[in-house]
Structure 1
Amino acid sequence: MRWTIKPKPNQDKIEHLAQALNVENFVATLLIQRGIETFEEAKQFFRPSLDHLHDPYLMKDMDKAVERIEKAISRQERILIFGDYDVDGTTAVSLVSSYLKSYYPDVATYIPDRYNEGYGISFLGIDYAEDNGFSLIIALDCGIKSIDHVAYAKERNIDFIICDHHRPGSSLPEAAAILDPKRDDCNYPYDELCGCGIGFKLIQALAKNRNQNIDDLVPYLDLVATAIAADIVPMKGENRVLAHFGLQVINSDPRPGIKALIFQVKKKILDITDVVFIIAPRINAAGRIKHGNHAVELLTEFDFDQAQQFASEIEAYNSERKDLDKVITQQALHQIEQNNEKDRFTSVVYQENWHKGVIGIVASRLIETYYRPTLVFTKSGDKYAASARSVKGFDVYNALEACAEYLEQFGGHMYAAGMTLKEENYLLFKKAFEKEVQKTIHPDMLIPEITIDAAINFSEITPKLIRILKQFEPYGPMNMTPIFLTMDVKDTGYGKPMGKENEHIKLFVKQNGSEGIPAIGFGLGDKYDLTCNHKTFQMAYCIDENEWNGQTSVQLRLKSIR
């Protein structure tokens, strides 16, 4: 682990903001590190408001999209809502379809099959639309590069509205409207929305056109918050506002499908981390193991008993997914060892019978062992298909672009991507990808990094600080949970290893005679020797609250010890 302390901002700035907000200097430091430098910016950060959302009509083509949908409704056309099989896609489809169905009945949904159709808009989906009389397809979380598909649909008198958040190629499809803030010619003020977020801007514009206000759309925000959490988009700007109010919906009055998922795990109050690790994997499991339609059925179901039935089926898919990813991860690690590839700059593995639905998760698991850009391939029809995952700071999408001559198709983001290639190009691509990463990656990027916000003493961990940190939520990229460093720490003698294989540790830590504070370190069992026998150590940690038998107490969540 590399421990990196964030640079300290200008002292005058810190003192000015601390005074304006009546907070400690290091709280002002945390805010400035997040780009918040004035009282007004801090007010918006600590008091998110739906009034902070931008006018949806600032997005390029929004007027065209609304006009085409209203025209379809007035002509009584059939509308098909198309989206991908992951969390972002299925929540977006559920959002837009349930909103449109609230005033127009002739709306249906379509999720492509992960195995037969693959990622994005499919020819099979367009054929389905033609066979069933749909003349307008609204594509969510996909479509920005689907030039041939949109042309194919046009020949069949089917129009497309594309709502995407991925990077466009050099030319755009000939759609009726393309909503994507990453378009070069789009001046929308915020370009980090997820696919479901773009879907929300669309229904916001439709609502405005129908004289509804933002309060009418609040019930849909449980879906938007779930997508924001799952898609790991920056937790600032509109995303933070939508996630903040979406969490309130999740914890007060969620739709029956989400309520049923929460009921499965029996947790009272969910934070954004719970959404990432409890709700999102279950929604994802439907598309990974069976079909993304199951997730849309769950999320659009209004009868709670029926939703519970769907949720228990999805729970079973999630259990199967866990078992699969465990087995495949072990096989992939064995392959890296067998091929003497431990010291490479990349991990690229392939086995023809690996389950396509879990290769993305397996790629993330491999990074836990070999911290480097990783691709996991499996057989898909007569081609090889892969999921890519990257390490902090390295753009895997750019690396794939540099090797595009070997790929049939690819798409994605800086940290996650998907691709297909022909069997005969696999080894050529593997060699080229290794060469490209070796050439472009900084050696430091191959060592996991802990970024520390500030060094503090235990005496500074007060109830007031904890109240303020709670207001930093929801956390996510660009607003991560603050990590603190404390020096000269000792365990009080009650520390012990935990877990079946002593893989975790629990400590009671003190500094300069302070009272012992409980601290827990998941996966840090191998650090126990550094902490026993009253040795002095440093620790990097987050500050949590632990609830037990109705009592709330401070608990430190250890990130690293040295």
Structure 2
Amino acid sequence: MRWNLKSKPEKEKVQALQNALQVDEIIATLLVQRGIETYEQAKTFFRPTLEDLHNPYLMKDMDKAVSRIEKAIANNENILVFGDYDVDGTTAVSLVSSYLRSFYPNVATYIPDRYNEGYGISYLGIDYAEDNDMSLIIALDCGIKSIDHVTYAKAKNIDFIICDHHRPGDILPDAIAVLDPKRTDCSYPYDELCGCGVGFKLIQALAENRNQTIEDLLPYLDLVATAIAADIVPITGENRVLAKFGLEVINSNPRPGIKALIQNVKKKILTITDVVFIVAPRINAAGRVKHGNEAVALLTEYNLEQAEQFASEIEQHNSDRKELDKQITKEALLQIEENNEQNRFSTVVYQENWHKGVIGIVASRLVEKYYRPTIVFTKSGDKLAASARSVKDFDVYNALEACAEHLEQFGGHMYAAGMTLKEENYENFKNAFENEVKKTIHPDLLIPEISYDTEIELSEINSKLMRLLKQFEPFGPENMTPVFLSKNIIDSGYAKTLGNDAQHLKAFVKQNNSPNFNAIGFGLGAKIDVVKNRNPFESVYVLEENEWNGTVSLQLQLRDVRTN
């Protein structure tokens, strides 16, 4: 692995913040790295409040959206809340539909089928609205490029309100309102909201219009925090506020659907990371294995017993998803070995019976194994469909664009994309993609990177430092858990491997005259020789609290080790 220092902040800025906050250099350094340079910015960061949320009417077209919804309610129209089948989409649909239903009954929901309809607004969904006499569709987490679909709906006298967070094209759909902070003509102060976040701004504006306060909307924030966690958006600005208060709801009084998903979790307090690994995959599993409707049914259910029944079905889908993912990953790895493709610059694999709902996860697994841009194909109707995943700093979307002549269609962004092609074009595409990656990727990008924040001495680690680090939560993109570097560490002489296959590394370490610390390195068992026999070594690690038999101690979770 490559170890890189994230950035070295200017000494003067660190010193000034240190003086202003009366904190030590480590904390001031971490804050300046995150763009926090003044007392006021630090106060907002450490003590986010609901008052920090922006006025929803600052978003372009918000007044039009609210006005059209109020008109629909006044005229007793049927409203359809439409959203994508992933976590962001299903939480957004659950959020807006449950809020509207709290005072208006004529609201239905629609999640497209991953296999029959694919991503985004569908003609089938619009036909469903027409068949059920619905004259307004609120689209969430999709629609910003659905120009033809909105035109199709208009011809049927169905209006659209679009709430999206993806980058718009040159032309916007002809909707009543297009809410998207990434619109070039939108001056909304924060443009990193997820789809559910944009949905929240819509209900915030509706609530204001109905003389409700932000406190009335607190019960909906468990959904917003779940979407923020799952969609991997920056935990900065408004997202930080929404995530913090949403986590409080998840940990104190979540809706029955989320309560049913987490009630067997042993941890007392869930973090954003727990939401990413416990709640999000289960919500996602519905859309991957069965249908996203099941996730919406769970998240909008107010009877705990019924929610537990839904959660148990979704748990089964998640188990099925895990089995599929494991089996397909195994088959893909075998295919790479049999074709002797371990040393290519890209990975492209295909089998016609692989489950379309998990090929994205499999692509991520293969990136973990070989660390290179990866595409996994399966058969979908008379075409091949695929999911692509990339490595840090390599733009897979640009690489696909260079191979577009072989593709039917493709879309996505720098690190993840989807595409379809005709089966007869598969080999030509595979070769073209390999050549493009080979030509454009820097060799360093094929080696995984660990970025660390700053170098510290083990003697600087204490409960006060840990207490302050915990106040940096919730962690996530642009505010990741701080990673530290320490050199000249020595194990006590009892370093050992753990796990059935000696996969993990356990040590008891110190540096010069520092106290001893427990250290655990998951997946680092093969590096036991670096640390044993009291060899001095250096490590990048994160600090964590380890609870054992009611005693809490500080522990180093090693991310990597190497000889000094």
What's the TM-score bracket when you normalise by the shorter of the two chains?
over 0.9
Amino acid corresponding to residue 53 of structure 1 in structure 2: L
CA contact (8 A) 1:166 1:412 kept: no
Per-residue deviation, 1:440 = 3.1
Report the equivalent of 2:280. Answer: 280
Distance in 2 (CA, whole Å) between partners of 1:246 and 1:559 is 29
Greater alpha carbon shift after TM alignment, 327-336 vs 479-488: 327-336
Distance in 2 (CA, whole Å) between partners of 1:349 and 1:146 is 30
Report the equivalent of 1:547. Answer: 547
Distance in 2 (CA, whole Å) between partners of 1:77 and 1:260 is 34
Per-residue deviation, 1:399 = 2.7
Greater alpha carbon shift after TM alignment, 47-56 vs 250-259: 47-56
Amino acid corresponding to residue 23 of structure 1 in structure 2: V
1:409–1:159 CA distance, 2 compared to 1 (3 A): farther
CA contact (8 A) 2:459 2:515 kept: no
Secondary structure of the corresponding residue to residue 192 of structure 2: coil
Report the equivalent of 2:423. Answer: 423
- Identical-residue share of aligned pairs (%): 74
Question: Is 1:207 aligned with 2:191?
Answer: no
Distance in 1 (CA, whole Å) between partners of 2:218 and 2:252 is 12
Distance in 2 (CA, whole Å) between partners of 1:15 and 1:379 is 59
1:236–1:175 CA distance, 2 compared to 1 (3 A): same
Report the equivalent of 2:373. Answer: 373
Question: Is 1:354 aligned with 2:354?
Answer: yes
Distance in 1 (CA, whole Å) between partners of 2:55 and 2:425 is 47
Per-residue deviation, 1:245 = 0.7
Report the equivalent of 1:65. Answer: 65
1:374-424 Cα deviation digits (max 9, x unpaired): 111111111211112111122223333333343333333322222222223
Distance in 2 (CA, whole Å) between partners of 1:52 and 1:6 is 28
1:30-78 Cα deviation digits (max 9, x unpaired): 1111111111111111111111111111111111111111111111111
Question: Matches of residues 296-445 of structure 1 in structure 2 within 5 Å?
Answer: 296-445=296-445
Using the size of structure 2 for normalisation, the TM-score is 0.97
Report the equivalent of 1:483. Answer: 483
Mind listing any 5+ residue stretches in structure 1 that lack a counterpart? none
Distance in 2 (CA, whole Å) between partners of 1:62 and 1:476 is 28
CA contact (8 A) 1:489 1:537 kept: yes
Report the equivalent of 1:39. Answer: 39
Distance in 2 (CA, whole Å) between partners of 1:3 and 1:171 is 43
Distance in 1 (CA, whole Å) between partners of 2:522 and 2:453 is 20
Question: Matches of residues 14-413 of structure 1 in structure 2 within 5 Å?
Answer: 14-413=14-413
Distance in 2 (CA, whole Å) between partners of 1:266 and 1:408 is 47
Report the equivalent of 1:526. Answer: 526
CA contact (8 A) 1:264 1:311 kept: no
Secondary structure of the corresponding residue to residue 365 of structure 2: helix
Secondary structure of the corresponding residue to residue 436 of structure 1: helix
Per-residue deviation, 1:306 = 0.9
Per-residue deviation, 1:6 = 2.6
1:103–1:151 CA distance, 2 compared to 1 (3 A): same
Secondary structure of the corresponding residue to residue 286 of structure 2: helix
Distance in 2 (CA, whole Å) between partners of 1:256 and 1:413 is 35
1:2–1:289 CA distance, 2 compared to 1 (3 A): same
CA contact (8 A) 2:141 2:164 kept: yes
CA contact (8 A) 1:166 1:413 kept: no
Mind listing any 5+ residue stretches in structure 2 that lack a counterpart? none
Distance in 1 (CA, whole Å) between partners of 2:413 and 2:253 is 33
Per-residue deviation, 1:115 = 1.2
Secondary structure of the corresponding residue to residue 259 of structure 1: helix
Distance in 1 (CA, whole Å) between partners of 2:257 and 2:560 is 38
Distance in 2 (CA, whole Å) between partners of 1:289 and 1:43 is 44
CA contact (8 A) 2:494 2:532 kept: no
1:437–1:45 CA distance, 2 compared to 1 (3 A): same
Question: Matches of residues 499-514 of structure 1 in structure 2 within 5 Å?
Answer: 499-514=499-514
CA contact (8 A) 1:264 1:312 kept: no
Per-residue deviation, 1:82 = 0.8
Distance in 1 (CA, whole Å) between partners of 2:6 and 2:292 is 41
Distance in 2 (CA, whole Å) between partners of 1:395 and 1:12 is 36
Distance in 2 (CA, whole Å) between partners of 1:497 and 1:489 is 18
Distance in 1 (CA, whole Å) between partners of 2:484 and 2:169 is 41
Distance in 2 (CA, whole Å) between partners of 1:209 and 1:19 is 44
CA contact (8 A) 2:459 2:513 kept: no
Amino acid corresponding to residue 554 of structure 2 in structure 1: V
Per-residue deviation, 1:137 = 0.9
Per-residue deviation, 1:530 = 1.1
Per-residue deviation, 1:234 = 0.9
Secondary structure of the corresponding residue to residue 171 of structure 2: coil
Per-residue deviation, 1:549 = 3.0
1:477-518 Cα deviation digits (max 9, x unpaired): 111111001111111123211111111111111111433211
| Aligned length, in residue pairs | 562
Greater alpha carbon shift after TM alignment, 82-91 vs 414-423: 414-423
Amino acid corresponding to residue 481 of structure 2 in structure 1: T
Secondary structure of the corresponding residue to residue 477 of structure 2: coil
Secondary structure of the corresponding residue to residue 264 of structure 1: coil
Distance in 2 (CA, whole Å) between partners of 1:31 and 1:24 is 11
Greater alpha carbon shift after TM alignment, 272-281 vs 509-518: 509-518
Amino acid corresponding to residue 486 of structure 2 in structure 1: T
Per-residue deviation, 1:360 = 0.9
Secondary structure of the corresponding residue to residue 519 of structure 2: strand
Amino acid corresponding to residue 380 of structure 2 in structure 1: S
Amino acid corresponding to residue 396 of structure 2 in structure 1: V
Distance in 2 (CA, whole Å) between partners of 1:549 and 1:204 is 45
Distance in 1 (CA, whole Å) between partners of 2:131 and 2:264 is 39
Per-residue deviation, 1:175 = 1.4
Amino acid corresponding to residue 452 of structure 1 in structure 2: Y
Distance in 2 (CA, whole Å) between partners of 1:58 and 1:378 is 44
CA contact (8 A) 2:489 2:511 kept: yes
Distance in 2 (CA, whole Å) between partners of 1:382 and 1:516 is 62
Amino acid corresponding to residue 57 of structure 2 in structure 1: Y
Distance in 1 (CA, whole Å) between partners of 2:58 and 2:439 is 40
Distance in 2 (CA, whole Å) between partners of 1:316 and 1:209 is 42
Per-residue deviation, 1:308 = 0.9
1:246-278 Cα deviation digits (max 9, x unpaired): 111100110011011111334321011100001
Distance in 2 (CA, whole Å) between partners of 1:532 and 1:193 is 47
1:279-329 Cα deviation digits (max 9, x unpaired): 111111111111111111110010111111111111111111111111111
1:186–1:428 CA distance, 2 compared to 1 (3 A): farther
1:440–1:237 CA distance, 2 compared to 1 (3 A): farther
Per-residue deviation, 1:432 = 2.9
